[in-house]
Amino acid sequence: MDFSDTPEEANFRAEVRAWLKANGGALQSTAPDELYTEADIERCRQWQRTKAEAGYAHLVWPQEYGGMGGTWMQAAIFDQEERRLPRPFNYFSVGIGQCLPPIMTYGSEEQKQLIPRTLRGELIWCQLFSEPNAGVDLAAVRTRAVREGDSWKISGQKVWTSGAQVADFGILLARTDPELPKHKGLTFFIVDMRLPGVEVQPIKQISGHSEFNEVFLDGVELPESCRLGEVNQGWQVAMHALSAERFKRLNTRMPSMLSVLELAQSCDIEGTSAIDRDDVRQYLAGAMANKCALENFMSRMLTVLSEGGELGSEASILKLMSCQLNQDLSAYTMDLFGEQGAILDEQTHVLQDELYDAYLWTPGLRIAGGADEILMNIIAERTLGLPGEPRLDKGKAFKDL
C-alpha cells in the first residue's frame, strides 16, 4: 500500500491542522488526579461541543445524526492530527467508540436520536457487559431480563464498568432465555442510568482512582423501546460493539513515544545517559517500529472500511498487539526511572505522572474488550481457519451448565 496522502487527503489534513490551531490552543491534558472531576468533564464537554459544531465529532456518520458524512481515512487524519494536541481525558470515547456503533446499525429512529446528543457532548455512556462470573466468557452473563407486557424487568450485577458513576446511558447484555445455549439466549438493551433500581458503587483501583465500578440492577424496568436488535439475538449486537471497541484500542492510554524518548534523554543508567546506551536505543527503535507497523495495519483496515467492507477478526489482531506494546513500553519506562520509579513523586520527573499512570493502567487493557486468550482464539479460528477448541457447553441450554 501507499500510505502517503492523496492530494484530496493532503488538502483535508491542511484544513484540519488549521482548524485545530485556531480552536485547540487552550486545551490542557488531564492530570491523573483530575480524572472524573466535574471540572475536567466540563472541559471535555466543551471540546466535544466545539468539534461537533464544526462537523468533526464523527466524520463518517451521516450529517442528520451529527456526523460529516466523510470517509474513514478523513476520520483517521483528524485523529492523527488531534493526538498532537494536549487534550482532556475523553469521557465520550466509550459512547462514540463502543455504544453508538451498534445503535447506528441496529437502532430504531427513536434510538438514533441519542447519537447527535452524544456527539454534542450532552450524554456520557458506559458498557454494562462484564459480570463477576462472566468476564472473559462474556456469553456466560447471568443478569436476567424478564418480559412483562410491554416492558422488561432487569436484575443482576455488572462489574468493571468504566465511567458508570458519571454515565447517562449504558448498553447492556442480559439473558432472556436460559433454555437456549448461552450465546443464543441473550438480548441487548439501552439503559438509562438514572432509572430506579440502578445502583453504582465505585471500585478503588491500584492507581488510587475509581474509574471502574460495580453496577447493581434491582428490578429495573425498561420499556420495549429500549431493546436493541431482536430478542435472543443480542450476541450479534454485542460483537458489533466489541469489534468497534477493539478497533479503537490502538492509542488507548499508550505512553507517548515522545515522552519515552524525552525520559531516555534525561535519565542516567550507571553514569551514562540512557539514550546513549546501545541496549536502550535498540529497544526504543524496536518499539517505534512496532508502533509504525500497528498504525500501518490500521491504515489497511481503514482502507477496507473506506471501500465499503466491514471489520472482521483483523480488529482482534490490532487490539492484541497494541495492548502488548502498551504494557511493554510502559513497563520499560519504569525500568528507566530505576529505584525512583517505585515512588510517585512529581518532583522526581515531570513525566512521571503520565508514565506511571500508563504503567498501572495497561495491564487492564489486556483484559478489557477481550482478553488475550479470547483474541488468539478468534484469530486462530476466523482468520487462520484452525479448528475450534473443544467445548463441553456447545449446544446445551444455559440453565444446564
Residue 149: Cβ within 10 Å count? 6
CA–CA separation, 5 and 79 (whole Å)? 15
Check pLDDT > 80 for residue 2: no
The band of 307, judged by pLDDT with boundaries at 50, 70 and 90, is confident
| CA torsion angle 205 208 209 215 (round to 10) | 40
| Residue 127, pLDDT score | 96
Least confidently predicted of 59-63, 88-92, 183-187, 347-351: 347-351
Handedness of CA 388, 389, 390, 395 (dihedral sign): negative
> Looking at per-residue confidence, does 256 or 68 come out higher?
68
The band of 291, judged by pLDDT with boundaries at 50, 70 and 90, is confident
Reduced to 3 states (helix: H, G, I; strand: E, B; else coil), residue 380 is helix
Alpha-helical regions (H) of 338-378: 352-365, 372-378
Class of domain 249-383: mainly alpha
The arithmetic mean of pLDDT across residues 104-129, rounded, is 97
Check pLDDT > 80 for residue 162: yes
Would you list the domain boundaries of the chain?
1-89, 126-232, 249-383
CA–CA separation, 90 and 41 (whole Å)? 8
User: What Rg value do the Cα atoms of the chain yield, rounded?
Assistant: 22
Q: How far is CA 241 from CA 37, 315, 369, 392, in A?
A: 27, 12, 9, 27
Identify whether the C-beta of residue 306 lies closer than 8 Å to the C-beta of residue 73: yes
Does the domain at 1-89 match CATH 3.40.50.720? Answer given as: no
Domains 126-232 and 249-383 share a fold: no
Least confidently predicted of 212-216, 236-240, 246-250, 382-386: 246-250
- Grid cell for residue 354: 503520565
CA–CA separation, 67 and 63 (whole Å)? 5
Q: pLDDT per residue over 12-66, tens digit each?
A: 999 999 999 999 988 988 887 888 999 999 999 999 999 999 999 999 999 999 9
Q: pLDDT per residue over 321-366, tens digit each?
A: 888 888 999 899 888 888 776 666 666 666 777 788 788 878 877 8
Architecture of the domain defined by 126-232 = Beta Barrel (2.40)
CA–CA separation, 245 and 370 (whole Å)? 9
| CA torsion angle 296 93 310 109 (round to 10) | -160
> Which pTM value belongs to this model?
0.83
Identify whether the C-beta of residue 274 lies closer than 8 Å to the C-beta of residue 340: no
